[in-house]
Structure 1
Amino acid sequence: MHAYTAQLLWQRAEGEAFTDNRYHRAHRLRFDGGVELPASSSPLVVPRYSDPAAVDPEEMFVASLSSCHMLWFLSLAAADGWCVDRYEDAAEGVMARNAQGRMAMTEVTLRPHVVFAGRQPGAEQLHDLHHRAHAACFIANSVHTDVRCEPRA
């Protein structure tokens, strides 16, 4: 078992009434390694009170799935003897009503593009690596969202 922590700090700005629901949503996230991240609600959800320059929870959700998949992919590729030079992903999440009628991230599509050095895996081997990475990903195993992987050439 492993425990992970994140600290969050939000503070009402001086003069903000708060109870009228007109307060800023910007906050800070601090992680155990010392990285601090500006965060906010999504400007698509709360347009007037969000910080569009900050990262929102929906973006972090998509990024978390993308990152976890990549880390497993790299580990599995190395174990199988494939040398990866570069990995990039153009991941996208869709917010929609779920089967219960609630707004949720209903779909995340990963679009990884992997560049290998030397020996190149075939399409079947590449598909297998992505399939195994998805099956091993702790984050994908933790959510009910339909997480798709569509590798790009």
Structure 2
Amino acid sequence: MSHHSATVHWQRSAGEAFTDNRYQRRHAWHFDGGAVVPGSSAPTSVPLPFSDPSAVDPEEAFVAALASCHLLWFLYLAGKAGYVVDDYRDDAIGTLGRDAEGRMAITTVTLRPVVRFGGTRVPDAAGHEALHHAAHAQCFIANSVKSELRIEPTLA
């Protein structure tokens, strides 16, 4: 078993009353490897100027974590199968809506990876989809969530 950590830090700016709900939502995500990522609420959830649209919001991070995990497993499995991946791009999207209990949730995440293979050995469409299916089955993040996760790969 391994442990993974992140520190999320927010601090009230001088002069903000806080109890009037008019405070800045910008904060920082500090990861164990040293990366610091600016975070904020989504401007669709908390209007400007209290959100920072240039920062990553939790919903975006959730989608990115699923897409990143899938990517990493796909690359591993493709290499293990003898394929050379030259390029992988995923324009993933998450949908925020009400779940079965009526709570706001990311109800669907759709991964749309476009993969370009190099070398002389390239999987056919069925083999390509099988690699994505196997990557999805192995992805720790996908195995950790209850949202529907769709994968719509494209072979470049």
TM-score range, shorter chain: over 0.9
Measured against aligned partners, the alpha-carbon deviations of 1:65-110 in whole angstroms (never above 9, x if no partner) come to 0000000000000111111111110000000000000000000000
Shift of 1:26: 0.3
The one of 135, 148, 151 equivalent to 2:150 is 148
Q: Which amino acid aligns with 2:23?
A: Y
Question: Do residues 13 (structure 1) and 10 (structure 2) align?
Answer: no
What secondary structure is seen at the aligned counterpart in 1 of 2:63?
helix
Offset of residue 22 of structure 1: 1.0
Counterpart residue identity of residue 93, structure 1: G
Residue of structure 2 in register with 1:46 after alignment: 46
Q: Give the number of equivalent residue pairs.
A: 153
Tell me the distance in 1 between the aligned counterparts of 2:16 and 2:83.
Answer: 56
Q: Which contiguous aligned blocks of 4+ residues in structure 1 show a shift greater than 4 angstroms?
A: none
* Structure 1 alignment gaps of length 5 or more: none
Give 1:114's aligned amino acid: V
1:123 aligns with 2:125: yes
* Partner Cα distance (1:37, 1:73) in 2: 25
Distance 1:75 1:5 in 2: 23
Deviation sequence 1:92-138 (CA, Å, 0-9, x none): 00000000000000000000001101211001100100000000000
Q: 2: distance between equivalents of 1:152 and 1:85?
A: 14
Is 1:101 aligned to residue 105 of structure 2?
Answer: no
**Which residue in 2 is equivalent to 1:133?**
135
1:27 aligns with 2:58: no
TM-score by length of 2: 0.96
Q: Does 2:78 align with 1:77?
A: yes
Larger displacement relative to structure 2 (43-52 or 105-114): 43-52
Q: Does 1:62 align with 2:63?
A: yes
SS in 2 for 1:47: coil
Q: Deviation of residue 20 (structure 1)?
A: 1.0
3-state DSSP class of the match of 2:150? Answer: strand
| Aligned residue type for 2:4 | Y
**Structure 1 residue 9, shift from structure 2 partner:** 1.2
